[in-house]
Structure formats: C-alpha cells, structure tokens
Chain A
Amino acid sequence: MGDAIVTLKIDGVEVHVPEGTMILKAAKDNGIIIPTLCNLEGLTPYGGCRLCLVEISGSPKLFAACITPVSSGMEVTTQSEKLKEYRKMAVQLLLAEKSHVCSVCVANDHCELQSLANELGVDHTMFERNFTKEEIDSTHDFLVIDRNRCILCTRCIRVCDEIEGVHTLDLRMRGKDAQIIMDLDNKWVNSCSCTSCRKCAKVCPVGAIYIEGEPVGHTKHKEIAEFITERRQRKCK
C-alpha cells in the first residue's frame, strides 16, 4: 500500500483513502457500513459471500466491495433497490443451503446470518430449504464443528492460517459438497497441527464452530476484529 491518497465518491460523499484500500474498508472508515459475512478486518479478503456487492458508475457489473480496490474518481453506490434485492437473494440462498434452524442453534441471537436476515427483512426463503446430514465432529476436547450450519465463509481457515499460523483447517470438495476439514480430513482429536487456540470459534459468523459449554455470545466478543488486527501488526513487525 503506497502513500498516495485516492479521492473517490461513496454514496455521493467525497472520501480520501490511501491507494490500494478496498472499497469496503474505505466505506467503513467513513462511516458507511456495507453488509458482509465472509470479510473480517485483519484477514485476507475472500469475496465469497457476495453480500458487499456495490455498484460503480460506468459499469453494468456489480463488484464485491471487499476485494475491489479504490481508484481515483470512482463513484460507488452502496445502497439501492437493486443491491438490496441481490443481498436478500444471497441471504436466502445461504439460509436454504443447509439446516439453519435458529431455534435450536447455539449461536441463536449471536449469529451474523440471522441478524442480517432480520435487518434486510428476509422473512422467508423463496427456495426450498435443504435439511442436511453433514458430519458433526465433537472429538476435540472442547471445540465442536457442526457442518450443517457452515456457510463456507472460510474465516476459520484464514484465521487458522494467517493469524495462528498452523493451517489446520481447510476446505475439501467443491460447490455444495465443500466442507471444512482438519489436516488431511482427520477427526479433530487426531489433528497434530491444531493448537486449540479457539480462534476459529471466535471468528465463525454462525454457529458452525463453537466451544462446548461456553455461551457463544461469550466466545464471540465484539473486539475480535481489533484483536486480529493487533496480532497481525505485531506479526508484521
């Protein structure tokens, strides 16, 4: 990231940010919140959830704000009827993909998908919901993964690799069959690289990875983004 400052317009407001900043961050730093599920400050952007889609004038395409860097003279729209429809659609697809049954989920009331659905007014899904029988791994002493609730945002994979530096977690298969695995698809208890640091549970936006016996609201304290940024800066030095 250079020292050069770029000037652009977000929702009609002129903002000045360093060159190379992603639109999502530029907006956030100027008080404009764009919804996202997969992005977490301090982790490499992934662009998977498609909730941060924005419009850039002059292009018919929509851009994921978390992986699109700013450029001079850019005019970004973060809120419009079209974007809202796309975001609602993305939330509906996520809700329909796996067994998202909030009433029996550990993350009820502390879930980013749930609160986003609420904010966007997604009061039902137009797609038939899939009820899945994915494997639940509770072999670890206190960490549990319920793959039926996973939205594949890969925050856990990135935090495990980039912050803890062990890369225990990764993805196997593709598309609807994609799943989070430990090491080379081992049971969690047999993972020789996992340091039991709990970061995966802290960053999980839903109730897919959680700590047994600990309230999810306690695990996912709000300062996690600051915590990661701080760790990352320390690592860079």
Chain B
Amino acid sequence: MQVTEKTKVATIWLSGCSGCHMSFLDQDELLLELAKKIKVVYSPIMDIKKFPENVDVTLIEGAVANEEQLEMLKEARAQTKILIALGDCAVTGNVTALRNAWRDSDKLALEKAYVENTDKNAQVPTDVPKLLKKVHPLHQVVKVDYFIPGCPPSASVINYVLTELLSGRTPNMEGKSKYG
C-alpha cells in the first residue's frame, strides 16, 4: 500500500471572537473525512508555540489589530502555500475594525475599556502587544489566496472550500457564502 503524505493544515486566531473556529468544528462528522486527508499542525486548540515550516493550507480567523498579530500573519504567510481568510473579520475587518472611524482609536479603545468603564485600578495595560493605529483585513497586509466571508461562515462552506482544495480544484464562491 502506498503511503501518501497528508496535507498540512494550520489555523490561526487573530482579532476575532473564535466563532469561525467554532464553525470549523461544526463540520461534525465531516471532520472525520477531512482527518483522513489532513494533518492539523498548528491551531489555537493545540499546544504548539511556534508556527511550523512548510504548511500547505492556513486558515486565519480575525483581523489584524496589534503588532503581535501583524508579525504572526507575516510569519504564517512566509511558511504557507495557500492562505485563506476565514470569516468577516479576516475578510473585511468587521466589528473589530469599527474603531477605524476614530482617529487615535488605538489609544481611545484602551482608555474606554480599561479606564472609563472600570471603577478599580483604572489603568491602560502596558505589558500587552501594542495596538495598531487601524485594524486591517488580512489582504491589506499579505497576499490572501482565498476568501471565505461570513460571520461566521457556515460549516458547509468551510468544508466545501477545503474539499475543493484537497481535490486540486479552485473553489468558486459565487452564491456560496455571505457577509454577516
């Protein structure tokens, strides 16, 4: 019997609510079919510290909102063959990017959260990654190969895109997924 190597898949969670990952897990029994063909090499639900090398497909949930995420995204792009923006935050910025309407939103957002809306120890944290001036969808920072809009995208759309890619076909998103 010929042993074929499984496709290496990674998933990353940037500024999003984890809903897209939940939707990924929502593939339920279809995950068993996928598991025969793919090997998950990096994911927020796995305990791996460093993004591996030579990944075939990376699904990224969430927008880019701070410096750590910016670095993470660039690292993932450098190591990945096919990079997919998963969900509205990754595709458009979505709710995460609403702060872009305000100038100096990086400062304002922290002050709102940690100073104005708290009554004890009000202070802006300094030991967390620095927020970017604006929140960006992935394709504003790196080249994105496929987009799966949706808040969250349905499990069937995620499965469709992965299945098509695993079969060497190009997914056609017309009429498949929707924003929101």
Contacts and interface: CB of A to CB of B under 8 A. Distances in A.
Size range of the interface on A? Answer: 20 to 34
Contact of B85 (A104, A115, A124, A128): A124
Interface of B: 85, 88, 91-95, 97-102, 137, 139-140, 144, 146-149, 151, 172-180
Secondary structure type dominating chain A contacts: loop
Nearest to B105: A131
A125 B178 contact: no
A121 B172 CA distance: 8
Contacts of A105: 180
A5 to B, nearest CB: 36
Interface of A: 95, 99-105, 108-109, 111, 114-115, 117-121, 123-125, 128-129, 131-133
Contacts of A132: 101
A173 to B, nearest CB: 19
B175 A125 contact: no
A157 to B, nearest CB: 25
A118 B175 CA distance: 5
A117 B151 CA distance: 15
Contacts of B99: 131
Nearest to B92: A129
A124 B174 contact: no
Given A114-B179, A121-B175, A124-B147, A101 B94 contact: yes
Contacts of A108: 180
B128 to A, nearest CB: 23
B137 A102 contact: no
Contact of A131 (B97, B148, B178, B179): B97
A101 B89 CA distance: 10
15 contacts: A95-B92, A99-B98, A101-B88, A101-B92, A101-B94, A102-B178, A104-B95, A114-B180, A119-B175, A121-B176, A123-B149, A123-B177, A125-B92, A131-B93, A131-B101
A118 B177 contact: yes
Contacts of B151: 102-103
A158 to B, nearest CB: 27
B139 A124 contact: yes
Contacts of B85: 124
